């Protein structure tokens, strides 16, 4: 009873803070936790007429269909490859960019570079991918125009399977590197200036300062963001792939999320789509636990 009174006392004292967090709390409850009930569709033959509760149980039928499907090896391979390529090539870019920004001495130039790098992130995905398709158009796209002027043959990037992954990775870097650099830039600006001054007095060059002061100081930020990216490996950008891929590029572009879209929504097989989505979530959950433990052992930095 005493603890309960203390709880209400703290609530009265911090009522304004509770009001501030009430909307985010309600958002996560309504849109994140309540929909988890829909997971039961993965084990049912859903019928809209019968509803979720009235639909018949089918056990692991949809999982068996997914694992024995002819498309299973392809979509799992594509999902991992697209995610790994994107992680390898995109993860270092914001770090490098943040370090370069921090080394610019003229604040005016720094702000211009920062603003220009942020702009693609705030462009609608549909508009951004429309720009990518226009740039890569085999007839009038700026890239193919340059190739022709250099005496090379135009390339139909959007209809050749081998080009899909490079297009996906490069366009993702262009769209996100500026915004992703914000956290690293914030970590760099929090480094004690006296460390750099002492290094300057000792005759250290800029590269030596970056190597021995900047990078070690932001290691914890790098490791935490790397864990989050690794744990989110199978969540490849669904909207982006839908906007970029064509039947001609399914061999390298078809991933778990697009397969769920076609089987679950277009074919109205909600049970199958839920089963595949649940499989995807479980693998992501396992990955983030494994990589978190590895990070704690190797660097003493982890999410928990």
Q: What is the pLDDT of residues 110-158, one digit of tens each?
A: 888 888 888 899 988 999 999 999 999 888 888 888 988 888 888 888 8
Going from the C-alpha of 137 to that of each of 13, 133, 153, 159, 170, the distances in angstroms are: 61, 6, 13, 10, 16
- Residue range(s) in the chain whose domain bears CATH number 1.10.3720.10: 60-123+164-299
- In this prediction, residue 1 has a pLDDT band, given cuts at 50, 70 and 90, of low
Q: How far apart are CA 117 and CA 124, in angstroms?
A: 15
- pLDDT given at position 228: 81
DSSP category for residue 257: H
| Whether the Cβ atoms of residue 111 and residue 119 lie closer than 8 Å to each other | no
- Report how far apart, in Å, the C-alpha atoms of 296 and of each of 92, 109, 233 are: 21, 39, 19
First to last CA, the chain: 32
- Reported as a single tens digit per residue, the pLDDT across 34-70 is 888 888 888 988 887 888 888 889 889 999 998 998 8
Q: 188: closest CA among 215, 160, 206, 154?
A: 215
Find out whether 284 and 231 touch, Cβ atoms under 8 Å: yes
pTM of the model: 0.83
Q: Are 165 and 90 in contact (CB under 8 A)?
A: no
Query: Among residues 190, 194, 195, 197, which one has the least CA distance to residue 218?
Result: 190
Classify residue 104 by its DSSP letter: -
Return the percentage of the chain with pLDDT > 90, whole number: 16
In order of 8, 14, 163, the CA distances from 2 in angstroms are: 10, 18, 66
The average confidence (pLDDT) of the chain is 87
Give residue 294's pLDDT: 81
**Contact predicate 44/57, CB 8 Å:** yes
pLDDT in tens, 219-266: 888 888 888 888 777 777 778 888 888 888 888 888 888 888 888 887
For 92-111, the pLDDT digits (tens) are 999 999 999 988 888 888 88
Q: With pLDDT > 70 as the criterion, what percentage of the chain qualifies?
A: 100
* pLDDT reading at 11 higher than 70: yes
What is the token pair recorded at 50?
């019968």
Q: Which CATH number fits domain 60-123+164-299: 2.60.120.10, 3.40.190.10, 3.20.20.370, 1.10.3720.10?
A: 1.10.3720.10
Give CA–CA dist 133/206, Å, rounded. 40
Q: Which residue has the tokens 């262009």?
A: 174
Cβ atoms of 178 and 114 closer than 8 Å = yes
Burial status of residue 202 (CB atoms within 10 A of its CB: 0-12, 13-18, 19 or more): exposed
């Amino acid at each position: 009873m005493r603890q309960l009174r203390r709880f209400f006392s703290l609530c009265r004292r911090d009522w304004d803070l509770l009001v501030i967090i009430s909307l985010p709390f309600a958002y996560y409850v309504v849109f994140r936790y309540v929909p988890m009930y829909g997971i039961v569709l993965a084990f049912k033959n859903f019928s809209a007429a019968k509803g979720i509760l009235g639909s018949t149980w089918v056990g692991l039928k949809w999982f068996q269909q997914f694992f024995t499907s002819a498309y299973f090896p392809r979509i799992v391979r594509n999902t991992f490859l697209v995610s790994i390529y994107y992680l390898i090539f995109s993860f270092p870019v914001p770090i490098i960019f943040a370090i370069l920004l921090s080394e610019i001495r003229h604040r005016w130039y720094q702000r211009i570079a920062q603003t220009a790098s942020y702009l693609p992130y705030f462009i609608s995905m549909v508009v951004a991918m429309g720009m990518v398709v226009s740039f890569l158009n085999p007839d009038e796209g700026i890239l193919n125009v340059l190739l022709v002027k250099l005496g090379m043959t135009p390339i139909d990037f959007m209809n050749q399977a081998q080009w899909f992954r490079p297009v996906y990775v490069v366009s993702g870097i262009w769209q996100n590197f500026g915004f992703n650099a914000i956290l690293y830039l914030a970590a760099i600006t929090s480094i004690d200036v006296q460390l750099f001054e002492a290094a300057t007095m000792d005759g250290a060059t800029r590269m030596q300062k970056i190597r021995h002061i900047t990078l070690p100081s932001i290691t914890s930020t790098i490791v935490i963001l790397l864990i989050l990216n690794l744990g989110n490996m199978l969540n490849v950008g669904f909207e982006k792939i839908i906007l970029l891929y064509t039947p001609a590029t399914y061999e390298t572009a078809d991933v778990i999320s697009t397969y769920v879209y076609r089987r679950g929504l277009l074919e109205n097989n909600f049970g199958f789509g839920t089963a595949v989505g649940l499989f995807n979530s479980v693998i992501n959950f396992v990955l983030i636990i494994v990589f978190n433990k590895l990070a704690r052992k190797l660097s003493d930095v982890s999410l928990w």
